[in-house]
Amino acid sequence: MVTTGIESGIGMSKAFPEIDKASSSATTDGAGKFFSELVSKVNDIQVQSDKSIQGLASGENKNLHEVMIEVEKASISFQFMAQVRNKALEAYQEVMRMQV
């Protein structure tokens, strides 16, 4: 994993390419696609966690620590998704409070 500092010169246009698009529908489609993919990934992790739990309960999987890691991963990903949603709603509400 490569990380770069603030001095690397990444501007808003590179970090958020949908901002550069002229139409607001393109930005809406980008945000909708992002949230759709996020929910899909979180759902996949939840399903994988459920399968691990079922495997442990049926005796198929004997590694409790791996099951607990899957459960925690699902919990953290859900909490992340909820926080992203909350921040997006806060940003939307802030924009709606702005006076034009």
**pLDDT tens profile 4-34:** 544 444 444 454 444 444 445 666 678 889 9
Count of domains observed in the chain: 1
Domain region containing 51:
39-97
Q: Is there a domain that residue 30 lies in?
A: no
What is the pLDDT, as a whole number, of residue 62? 82
Q: Is there a domain that residue 93 lies in?
A: yes
In this structure, what is the dihedral angle of CA atoms 61, 67, 71, 74, given to the nearest 10 degrees? -80
Among the listed ranges 17-21, 39-43, 78-82, which one has the minimum average pLDDT value? 17-21
Q: Is there a domain that residue 81 lies in?
A: yes
What is the pLDDT, as a whole number, of residue 29? 79
DSSP 50: H
d(CA 70, CA 63): 11
Q: Is there a domain that residue 88 lies in?
A: yes
Q: Is there a domain that residue 8 lies in?
A: no
